[in-house]
Structure 1
Amino acid sequence: MVDATTLCPLSDGDGPSGAPSDAVVPKLRARLKWRRARLAAAVPRLHLAIDAAGDGIWDWDVATGAVWYSPGWQTMLGFSPGEVPPQLDFWSSRVHPEDLPLTQAALQAHFSGERPFYECEHRVRAKSGEWLWILDRGRVVSWNADGRPRRMIGTHVDVTARKRIEEELAESRLQLDAILDNAPVGVLLVDGDRVIRRVNKAVAATFQYRMEDIVGCSARVIYGDDQVFEDIGRRAYPRMQSGGQFDEEVSMRRADGTDIRCRLIGRPVKAGNPARGFVWVVEDITVRWRAEQALNDRAGFQRVLLDTVPVPIFVQDVMGHYVDANTAFERWMGIDRQALFGRTVFDLAPPHIAEADEAVDKALLADQKPQSYETQLRCADGTLRDVLFSKAVYCRTGGKPAGIVGAVMDISERKHAEQALLERQQLFEQIFVASCAVKLLIDPLDGRIVDANPAAAEFYGHPLDRLRSMHIQDINAATGAEVARELRQAHNGERKQFQFRHRLASGDVRDVEVYISNIVVHGRTLLMSLIHDITERCIAEEALRGKTRELERSNAELEAFAYVASHDLRQPLRVITSYLTLLERGLGKSLDEEGRECIDFARDGAQRMDRLIVDLLEYSRVGRKAKPFRPVPLDEPLRLALLNLEVAVQDAGATVTVDGPDGTALPVVAGDDNELMRLFQNLIGNAVKYRAPGRPPVVRVTVALGRASNRQDGAPVVCIDIRDNGIGIAAEDRDRVFGIFQRLHRRDEYEGTGVGLAVCKKVIEHHGGRLWVEGPPDDDLRDTDGRPCGSLFRLVLPALASPAAGAGRDGEARDRR
């Protein structure tokens, strides 16, 4: 508070010590009384003035918390004067909870001396519950001796209306920004100097500039050239300055130099005040402009297109009159489109068809939904054809129907096909039902029996209705997992034939063979199962397997018997030979020529019988006493065979050559090296033995890699050719030579027992291969007359490892049936 002594000067009549004299004191008291009276009169006037202005006053005793609220303060919040308690808690309870910390922070800043006065805008809840925005101002007018505030006076000003205006203004600005940013056309604000002050996103997108790069630049950057820029400035701005509007299409340019066509609409921000600038709306109409330019060409193109389309197309107005048609429709109806103009369907079709067509057109114009329907139409040749009409309504601007566009498709062939399909379906159903074979239709997804024929009901012993409600798991004796796996394989086409055991209604279990194929019935894939009862066949097969096992045992015993018999037979032959030798030696010179010849015949017969027994023994041993197969490089048995034949080859003056694949080592096979040696020894030995007189023998062994042509997997094989220039084998004897004891020549011509090639055949079959003989090929081995001579023995053996592709001589096996 201000001290009262400061209200008047103390210089008149002051005593020596500075105290007022007795004469001055009455004057001072009178002046002070006058000033207090004046101040007391001024306060109500101040309160009245503030209340008249609609503001409120508060007087706060900080120490006690008592607050005096002026009547205007109370009525501002909707209270009657005297209704508000004179306490600070009342004010703090009405302040919005979010704003209370702000008011406390502002008071503290004033109390601490950071601010010369207290000022804060906050919300206060009125008596009605409405929140009012208050501008709260105040100042400490009295302090305690310790520097704490003692008294504070302030005002309340209702600024709710201003706040609302500010919020509406901010909302308007946000809406304007949103409108500009989302506007589909570009908007620019340009000042009187044609400098761009503001743009929206559409402008940046249209001209491919960043917004910050284009603002502040001359509007020249978006024009195609200086001439267009100057022309717009010369014509547009005077019109806009006078309050008019400029609206034209001009050529403009993007940042990348691409010319575009735009529509420019310009208006002043405020008419008659060019200083406020100008608003330009820019719409990129390049696509539309090009479309308009191409519109005339498109009309001609559409005419050509319609006439090129082979489907008849026509156009009718809402009254049903034909107004246009293409060339295909003209050919179909046999009438020119000019003559067609103005006619109706009653002029082209029989009455009953025309009436039905008219009813469809009326419904189409009513709901405007495209329609397709089948009917009949008479062609130019007079035939009545099944057709598919496809129609749609075309409308004018505003959605009002203008007419109907229709297309006609000849479906006569399709109708015939549908009829044929229906007949085939009926035929299938008859075959399925009437056939005596057991048939089931099964859903591959869950195994449900979709359908069954009467033969199936008779076989399984279930009524048809019961059978059609069952699952295949109900009659299949296999486990559910096995049945599901077989169904998947059948559905995927991996297998067609299966063998199961099916349970009958009687409890019997029958062996069945099932042939399954996928069929589509009404768009649904099902399994057609054809079931054969093979129970009797399975019993017969089991009996056959027993007989086979018995036969194998019998063959083994016969082989053992042949081995023992041949072994035991050689002993008497050796005795005979020995005694013949002793007899010849004992008789000596007393033996005449005839006796000596008889002894030679007997000895020769015994020796031939011994060789025959040895060959039989060898034949019986093939495949019976063979060692377990091991990897055998073919070089080994071939080398041993040639070593054993060395004397015979030299005596005959023969030439034997061996050629491997590409000059490398011979391939490896899985087999018995001893049997393979006998195989090569017999074949090469025969080639040397059966030579033509006066022609030195030539034997060529060729080994190559290939793939079996008679197997789907194309397994790798070793192909061996043994070519000679000997006497050859007649075509009618080429199969017979592999039989046991089959000789083609007399013993005085070529010795032998006729067992060698039978042994070779048995060895090659034991190794899983094939052996055959062919006539002489057309090569360099020829007789004296220049004709091909000799024979060609061919062998095919499974290779041990997969050979490199193309390593064989021919690239494929030459195994032939």
Structure 2
Amino acid sequence: MTDDAIRSPARQKTGKRNAKHARGHTMIMETLLDTIPNPVFYKDCEGRYQGCNIAFAEQILGLPKSSIIGCTLFDLPQAIPGHLADVYAQQDAAMLEDAGTQFYESEVQCADGIRRHFFFNKATFMDTNGQPAGIVGVMLDITERKHAEEALRKSEERFRRFFEDVALGIFQSTEDGVILNVNPAFAQMFGYAAPQDLLAAVGNDAAALYVDPMSRTHIIRLITTSEAPIKTETRFRRRDGSSFTGDFHAWKVKDRKDRFLYLEGFIDDITERKQFEESLRESENRLRFLSSKLLVAQEEERRRISLELHDDLGQDLAALKLQMLTMAKRLEKNQTKLKKECQSALAFIDRLIDTTRRISRALSPTVIQDLKLCGTIRWMVRDFQKYAAIDTTLEMDDIDALFSYDQQIIIYRILQEALHNVHKHARARSVALTVRRKMRDVQIQIRDDGRGFDIDHAMNRYVAERGLGLAALEERSHMLGGQLTITSQKKYGTCVALTIPISGREGEK
């Protein structure tokens, strides 16, 4: 038996072992490829697919692996359109010629009909002789990244348009005063035609834009010590030396590691608004002056009418009463009917005298000089309870020595107007009036259980529409330097609260 005959069974056995080992190695490679979530493929130098994973076969081409192996790009028209097959074939040929790698992005229509963006990473692999044997490729789905990039691009475009078109002056600067960027509105706000003109002139000295350069130092301190955006009003200087008032908003910009990068913010030119506010204040002061003069004139007219009622009508009624008494005494005993009519007339005259006195006192509370403020308030409450038929309670501290006579009259008028409003509008069954003396002020409260009203609607109407009652209360409170608060709720009554700072001799002790 020859040596070849002896070695033949051994060779056959070794070949079987090698084939089995190769099959096992191939199965391991296929299993390994299939576990990779990204599509993977490899082809020979003729462009025939020698292998791929499930992700490539099912997700990209929509074919079983067995239908792909051994085919070229042009053998799969149902999965790869002809024009794309031409492009891919040219790229593969170029790469095989240079024996290198390729990286590119491409949009691919996947098996589910959806077009997705992929990043291709392809490279040549060599045979045992070091010659190109084929191409292996890996595809990375970057669709979400592309969408994010597109969203970011659109967001940046929107911000750029906002940055350039908004009327607010937007800026970015360093803490030490280097201006990094401004928008056109910022440049124009300071008298420059374009942002680059401003940056060329004062780009390294942001403090030059302030009327008081120390203002920026103060603002920087506020920004750097605050985690929240800051807001302040500041005076700025334009290129021509004129100034304007700006509403200044700014904040810190940090990186992901919370490290400070730069300052960012915007300025709103509020010069016109400030001028309007000043004009409005002047107009309000003039109106308050006229209003106070009107109230003083009204008080003087009331005093004059009160004196006429007291001196003229009061005396005439007293004389008429004396005449009626004289006539009644002269009647005979048998003139019973006339005597009754005289008694009735005398009772009517007495009511007229009482009414005249009440009206006279209401018009001009000269009784304050006799009864002081507290006594006058007590008299007013008793009189109100009598003619209004509303249960009224009074709790009051002694405040007689705290206010001047003119101030006492104003306080009296406020209480008089408040009670009059209750009688006229509230339909209340009871009223509680409290007057409390505190350390620095006097607190007065008139609370009723009437029908209430919509306070916001009433206060937002023009004075001509809501009447002079509330306006007079507000103005008289202002004349005292006090604070008037009115709260009301429909069906639950109204509360008028007045806080008056103590300015009398007692308040100064």
**TM-score, with normalisation over the residues of structure 1?**
0.36
Aligned-partner SS, 1:323: strand
Structure 1 SS opposite 2:217: helix
Note if 1:351 corresponds to 2:351: no
Q: Secondary structure at the match of 2:239?
A: coil
Distance in 2, matches of 1:796 and 1:403, equals: 91
- Counterpart AA for 1:606: T
The one-letter code sitting in structure 2 at the alignment partner of 1:542 is E
Is 1:476 the counterpart of 2:207? The answer is no
Deviation for aligned residue 1:568: 5.3
Aligned match of 2:235? 501
Partner of 1:176: none
Map of 2:178 onto structure 1: 448
Q: How does 1:506-655 map to 2 (within 5 A)?
A: 506-514=240-248, 527=264, 529=266, 531-532=268-269, 534-567=270-303, 569-575=305-311, 576-590=313-327, 599=349, 603=353, 606-607=356-357, 609-610=359-360, 612-613=362-363
Aligned equivalents of 1:422, 1:344: Cα separation in 2: 38
Correspondence for 2:60: 332
In 2: Cα distance, 1:755 partner to 1:607 partner? 24
Separation in structure 1 between the aligned mates of residue 264 and residue 292 of structure 2, nearest angstrom: 48
Q: 1:406 aligns to what?
A: 138
After TM superposition, give the deviation of residue 336 of structure 1 in Å: 0.9
Post-superposition CA distance 1:154-207 (Å, at most 9, x none): xxxxxxxxxxxxxxxxxxxxxxxxxxxxxxxxxxxxxxxxxxxxxxxxxxxxxx
Distance 1:334 1:520, change over 3 A: farther
> Structure 2 matches for 1:44-59, cutoff 5 A?
none
For the 8 Å contact 1:459–1:504, the answer to whether it is kept is yes
The within-5 A match list for 1:206-225 is none
Question: Residue 375 of structure 1 corresponds to which residue in structure 2?
Answer: 106
The Cα shift of 1:584 comes to 0.5
Higher helix share: 2
Computing the radius of gyration from Cα coordinates, the structure with the larger value is 1
Which among 467, 470, 490 is matched to residue 774 of structure 1?
A: 490
CA contact (8 A) 1:739 1:757 kept: no
TM-score between both structures, scaled by the size of structure 2: 0.53
Q: Which residue of 2 aligns with 1:289?
A: none
Distance in 2 separating the partners of 1:626 and 1:358: 110
Residues 124-135 of structure 1 correspond to what in structure 2 (within 5 A)? none
Judge conservation of contact 1:332–1:380 (CA < 8 Å) in 2: yes
- CA drift of 1:409 comes to 0.7
Asked if structure 1 preserves the Cα contact closer than 8 Å seen for 2:107 and 2:118, the reply is: yes
Aligned pair in 2 of structure 1 residues 494, 374: CA closer, same or farther (>3 Å)?
Answer: same
Give me the whole-angstrom Cα distance separating, in 2, the residues matched to 1:617 and 1:358: 116
* Pairwise CA distance, 1:516: 5.9
Other-structure match for 1:386: 117
What SS is found at the alignment partner of 1:769?
A: strand
Shift of 1:644: 6.2
Maintained 8 Å contact 1:440/1:449: no
1:359–1:768 CA distance, 2 compared to 1 (3 A): farther
Rounded to whole Å, the distance in 2 between the matches of 1:333 and 1:615 is 102
The size of the alignment, in residue pairs, is 391
Q: 1:602 and 1:655 mapped to 2: Cα distance? A: 25
CA contact (8 A) 2:485 2:498 kept: yes
- Equivalent position amino acid for 2:240 in 1: S
* Matches of 2:273 and 2:470, distance apart in 1: 41
Q: Secondary structure at the match of 1:505?
A: coil
CA distance in 2, matches of 1:323, 1:376: 22
Q: Which consecutive residues of structure 2, in runs of 5 or more, have no partner in the other structure? A: 1-23, 127-132, 329-340, 394-402, 434-444, 500-509
Q: d(CA) in 2 for partners of 1:414 and 1:571?
A: 92
Preserved contact between residue 103 and residue 122 of structure 2 (Cα < 8 Å): yes
CA distance change for structure 1 residues 473 and 699 in 2, over 3 Å: closer, same or farther? closer
- The CA deviation at 1:793 is 0.4
- Give me the whole-angstrom Cα distance separating, in 1, the residues matched to 2:149 and 2:422: 74
Structure 2 counterpart of 1:494, which letter?
P
- Equivalent residue in structure 2 for 1:793, among 481, 493, 499: 493
Instruction: Summarize deviations over 1:390-448 as a string: whole Å, max 9, x none.
Output: 679999xxxxx99967343152x654664465455446545644x48463432254443
Task: Please give the secondary structure, in 2, of the residue aligned with 1:380.
Answer: coil
8 A contact 1:615–1:755 mirrored in 2: no
1:374 to partner: Cα distance: 1.8
CA contact (8 A) 2:484 2:497 kept: yes
The 8 Å contact of residues 223 and 251 in structure 2, kept in 1 or not, is answered as: no
- Tell me the residue number matched to 1:314: 40
Q: CA deviation at 1:535?
A: 3.5
For residues 576-613 of structure 1, give each alpha carbon's deviation from its aligned partner in whole angstroms, at most 9, with x where no partner exists: 32442243124415277697698568536624532541
> What's the offset of the Cα at 1:338?
2.8
- Distance across 1 between alignment mates of 2:346 and 2:488: 44
CA distance in 1, matches of 2:416, 2:348: 36
C-alpha separation in 2, matches of 1:516 and 1:611: 62
Query: Percent identity at matched positions?
Result: 18
Could you tell me which residue of structure 2 aligns to residue 232 of structure 1? none
SS at match of 1:477: coil
Is the 1:332–1:379 Cα contact (8 Å) retained in structure 2?
yes
TM-superposed CA distance for 1:477, in Å, is 1.9
Choose between structure 1 and 2 for higher RCO, CA contacts under 8 A separated by at least 6 residues: 2
Deviation at 1:455, TM superposition (A): 5.2
1:646–1:501 CA distance, 2 compared to 1 (3 A): closer
CA gap 1:502/1:424 in 2 versus in 1, 3 angstroms: same
